[in-house]
Amino acid sequence: MNTKLNNERGFSNKEFEKRLIQAQKIMHNYQLDGILLTTPQNIRYFTGYDSQFWESPTRPWFVVVPLSGKPIAIVPEIGESEFQKTWLDEIKSWPSPRPEDEGITLLKSTLENIKKTFGQIGAEFGKEMTIRMPVRDLFKLKETVNINLVDGSDAIWDIRMIKTEEEIKRIKFICSIASDAYNSLPSKLAIGDTEREAVNKLKIDILNRGADSVPFMPGISGVGGVSQIVCGPTNRTLNDGDILFIDTGSTFDGYFCDFDRNFAFGKASSEVEKVYEVLWQATEIGINAAIPGATTFDIFNAMNKVISEVSIAGNNVGRLGHGLGLQLTEPPSHRDEDKTVIKENMVLTIEPGLEYAPGKMIVHEENIIINKDGAELITKRAPKEIPIIK
Amino acid sequence: MNTKLNNERGFSNKEFEKRLIQAQKIMHNYQLDGILLTTPQNIRYFTGYDSQFWESPTRPWFVVVPLSGKPIAIVPEIGESEFQKTWLDEIKSWPSPRPEDEGITLLKSTLENIKKTFGQIGAEFGKEMTIRMPVRDLFKLKETVNINLVDGSDAIWDIRMIKTEEEIKRIKFICSIASDAYNSLPSKLAIGDTEREAVNKLKIDILNRGADSVPFMPGISGVGGVSQIVCGPTNRTLNDGDILFIDTGSTFDGYFCDFDRNFAFGKASSEVEKVYEVLWQATEIGINAAIPGATTFDIFNAMNKVISEVSIAGNNVGRLGHGLGLQLTEPPSHRDEDKTVIKENMVLTIEPGLEYAPGKMIVHEENIIINKDGAELITKRAPKEIPIIK
């Protein structure tokens, strides 16, 4: 384990300055005088503020990133002392909860004092985003503030899609922790375990190895494959002929891994063996297709060719991988309608899957970063043959 | 441990029917032809759908609860097979991700087919709520759909604020698990531990005792008290004279507990002992004030009198407790501007705190349910004197 990294959290001011400079360049391209942020990951990206309190929906939090100068925080009083420790200079707060004016007057005056060059502020209005404040308050703000609030999602995703060296370090670290835990899991599993027990063994191992949290760990089983990959575990007992699918989004210092593994109980049918092998090969091909200059469609297409030879049914996931970082899933998507150009320092999942018979789906997944010359695998590759638990 | 409950998850169709009947009564009072739901807890409340996939922001999910008839689900294909297992009859889906039409056409036609009596649909627009879909899509929907989308948050909170017997069972169970884990924690702690180590010990114990997840567990320490209660743990080492504050929102079958405990390392100063005792008494008084017919203001006031005798500084939390259920924090709030009437089967936290010197805050918290005659404590009461870790 990288114990040095394990004992550190957070980023230097220099890292935040670097992110801000890059963001302001992109904001300039999109003609935005600022961006308004309300969600945990966007706020953390620009300020470093980490809190467990996002679990409470009672209070909204706001950060405004102007076209020049440092971000400004407008936060409930409960968060003020901790925000004072960030690299920000300007932190405003109000006594919250106060639904009758939940920070809106303060936010409005902050936005009105932003220097107006283009006359518009980008907000989290678009794809793969939601805005974390009461919409009722957003409507009121939008109507009364003296600057246009527009969709800033393209700009925000442009900013976050290319990772810094420090971000990549953390994603690599959590991928390595989860890989080791997956690799030691077969020795802990046995026929007769429940899905829930299997998942808990992996979860506790990942925490013990130094992950900060395991917010995502579906575990699903079925004879020869699974019908879905997002709900569960249940108390279903793992029996001879079952496939157990486990996926995990575990985090370190805010950054996610996102990859899965499959285990056969008792035996694997020849069909399962074949599908597993095809997906292993499709993953290989997907990794090799992920080079700077290619598009997400190219990656999709390369994998889809291999998969289509076995099954035309595809699967219900709707894509064959996606971006990864402060969120479990981020743009872009490897799918037929997404033509995002692959660039250096993107972090992506390669996730081919297929439903070879009704209710029998198998999905593989690995994580990569894009280097100058192509993809670098940052998960420890799934075994070429499906592990069999006796 | 209640092992029977521990082996079950989910609710009967009868439970959902009961919730629906009650909800439709409330919707009628608010003159709503339906309510539109997009967030995990609201969707789970009406359908039982449980998923880890809320962690992925890529796809929105919609449930429409009409004024008569069962809820209708409009969900991405990845969730369809699992939604088929719920008690719902009507499940529509679209191939997602598809940002160019992320379920909006399907949602619009569903809303347009709802029987119109009052001409308005309530949505998650108001207090302590956010809507989990791109606001860009919401604006488009609101402009083009042939029925008014209005703020339905008061109706939704009225529905969820009074818990059913089955909900209360689960909250009691998770409170009992977390209480036992807190009680066994002192024997696992020692001077020299870090905040992170202390938190991990408690977290793993709670998981081993049968909790489904521990999404909220801040752990903060400081000499004689803490400066805030929502961020952390860090790698700070616990030394002689420190107070360690740990809070947890752990879950079972979707339902939260939310209560904290304080531990002194080496020794407790006479000031700490006094403040701890005052807060213990304030908690007692808060519990006793929580009777049907009283208001949240009455509960606040009763506790605040005791606290004010020690300190006029108050604290930065902004209230002295709140509602609890499928979310860590729910309305109402025990504060001076909240006059919610306490009713049978509410579940509440009693959370007095005070900052007796700059940066030295101590906060107590217990969970209660409201019975016909008054509050029932469902956490195992914090010790009357602060535990000292040697």
Alpha carbons B264 and B144: distance in angstroms, whole number: 60
B7 touches A: beta carbon within 8 Å: yes
Q: What is the mean pLDDT of residues B286-309?
A: 96
Closest CA to A222 of A208, A236, A206: A236
pLDDT tens-digit map of A230-281: 999 999 999 999 999 999 999 999 999 999 999 999 999 999 999 999 999 9
Whether A224 and A98 map to the same domain: the answer is: no
Q: What is the CA radius of gyration of chain B?
A: 22
Taking residue A339's Cβ as centre, other Cβ atoms within 10 Å add up to: 11
Q: How many Å separate Cα B97 from the centre of its chain?
A: 30
Whole-angstrom Cα distance, residue B168 to residue B321?
18
Residue A74 has pLDDT above 80, yes or no: yes
- At A137, the pLDDT band (50, 70, 90 cuts) reads very high
Count, residues in chain A: 390
More confident residue, A285 or B309: A285
| Structural domain of A58 | 3-160
Is residue B194 scored above 70 in pLDDT? yes
CATH number for the domain harbouring residue B74 = 3.40.350.10
Same domain, B24 and B153: yes
Predicted confidence band of residue A297 (pLDDT cuts 50, 70, 90): very high
Looking at residue B8, its pLDDT comes to 79
The 10s digit of each residue's pLDDT in A361-388 is 999 999 999 999 999 999 999 999 999 9
What distance in Å separates the CA atoms of residue A381 and residue A376, rounded to the nearest whole number? 11
CATH of the domain at B370: 3.90.230.10
| Residues of chain B above pLDDT 70, percent | 97
B310 touches chain A (CB under 8 A): no
Task: Enumerate the residues of chain A whose CB falls inside 8 A of the CB of residue B153.
Answer: 134, 136
Amino acid A4: pLDDT: 46
Q: What is the pLDDT of residue B32?
A: 98
Q: Check pLDDT > 50 for residue A1.
A: no
Query: Does residue B1 surpass a pLDDT of 60?
Result: no
Task: Judge contact between B225 and B272, C-beta under 8 A.
Answer: yes
Does residue B117 share a domain with residue B54? yes
**Is it the case that residue B146 has pLDDT exceeding 60?**
yes
- pLDDT at residue B315 in the model: 73
Same-domain check for residues B77 and B153? yes
Looking at the predicted structure, is the pLDDT value of residue A319 above 90?
A: yes
Confidence grade of residue B3 (pLDDT, cut at 50, 70, 90): very low
Q: Which of A102, A28, A96 is nearest to A65 (CA)?
A: A28
Rg (CA), chain A: 22
Model confidence at B317, in pLDDT bands (50, 70, 90)? confident
First to last CA, chain A: 29
Between chains, do B56 and A317 touch, taking CB under 8 Å as contact? no
Chain A: closest CA distance from residue B91 (Å): 15
> Which of B107, B134, B160 is the C-terminal boundary of a domain?
B160
Residues B346 and B270 placed together within one structural domain of the fold: yes
Is the confidence at residue A192, as pLDDT, over 80?
A: yes
**Is the CB of residue A233 less than 8 Å from the CB of residue A218?**
yes
Name which residue leads in pLDDT, A317 or A339. A339
| Cβ pair A234:B9 closer than 8 A | yes
Instruction: Name the amino acid, one letter, at B258.
Output: D
Give me the mean pLDDT over the A317-336 stretch.
96
Mark whether A104 and A124 lie in a shared domain. Answer: yes
pLDDT average, residue stretch B128-136 = 97
Extract the tokens encoding B306. 């005791």
Phi-psi region of A345 (alpha: psi -120 to 50; beta: other; left: phi over 0): left
Same domain, B91 and B224: no
pLDDT for position A294: 98
Whether residue A76 lies within 8 A of chain B, CB to CB, comes out as yes
The total of other beta-carbon atoms located within 10 Å of residue A113's CB is 11
What pLDDT score was predicted for residue B269?
97
> What digits encode the pLDDT tens for the residues B238-252?
999 999 999 999 999
Q: Indicate if B97 and B206 belong to the same structural domain.
A: no
A52–B231: do the CB atoms touch at under 8 Å? Answer: yes
Residues A92 and A172 both lie in one domain: no
Contact criterion met (CB < 8 Å) for B130 and A127: no
Tell me how many degrees the CA angle B228-B230-B235 measures, rounded to the nearest 5.
85
Average pLDDT over residues A308-337: 90
Residue of A217, A230, A234, A255 to mutate when probing chain B, most B C-beta within 10 A: A230
Interface subset of B 107-136, CB within 8 angstroms of A: 123-136
pLDDT in tens, B10-56: 999 999 999 999 999 999 999 999 999 999 999 999 999 999 999 99
Query: What's the pLDDT score for residue B310?
Result: 83
pLDDT tens-place string over residues A110-130:
999 999 999 999 999 999 999
In the 3-class helix/strand/coil scheme, how is B205-234 assigned residue by residue? HHHHCCCCEEEECCEEEEECCECCCCCCCC
Instruction: Report the complex ipTM.
Output: 0.95
Into how many domains does chain A fold?
2
Percent of chain A at pLDDT > 70 equals 97
Substitution target in B3, B8, B51, B52 with the highest count of A β-carbons within 10 Å is: B52
Same domain, B147 and B168: no
Average pLDDT over residues B301-326: 89
B151–A contact, CB cutoff 8 A:
yes
Residue B81's pLDDT band (cuts 50, 70, 90): very high
pLDDT at B200: 92
Residue A357 has pLDDT above 80, yes or no: yes
Give the pLDDT band (50/70/90) at residue A3.
Answer: very low
Size of interface A-B (CB pairs under 8 A): 199
pLDDT score, position A313? 65
List the single best residue of A38, A86, A154, A231 to mutate versus B (max B Cβ within 10 A): A231
| Shared domain check, B233 and B194 | yes
Q: Is the pLDDT of residue A315 over 90?
A: no
SS (H, E, C) chain A: CCHHHHCCCCCCHHHHHHHHHHHHHHHHHCCCCEEEECCHHHHHHHHCCCCCHHHCCCCCCEEEEECCCCCEEEEEHHHHHHHCCCCCCEEEEECCCCHHHCCHHHHHHHHHCCCCCCCEEEECCCCCCCCCCCHHHHHHHHHHCCCEEEECHHHHHHHHHCCCHHHHHHHHHHHHHHHHHHHHCHHHCCCCCEHHHHHHHHHHHHHHCCCCEEEECCEEEEECCECCCCCCCCCCECCCCEEEEEEEEEEECCEECCEEEEEEECCCCHHHHHHHHHHHHHHHHHHHHCCCCCEHHHHHHHHHHHHHHHCCCCCCCCCCCEECCCCCCEEEECCCCCCCECCCCCEEEECCEEEEECCEEEECCEEEEEECCEEEECCCCCCCCCCEEC
The last residue of a domain, from among A160, A194, A222:
A160
Task: Please state, rounded to an integer, the average pLDDT across all residues of chain A.
Answer: 95
The residue out of B137, B160, B183 marking a domain boundary is: B160
Tell me: do A216 and A257 sit in the same domain: yes
- Searching chain A, which residue's CA lies closest to the CA of residue B150? A136
Residue of B nearest to A231 (CA): B51
Cβ neighbour number for residue A214 with a 10 Å cutoff: 23
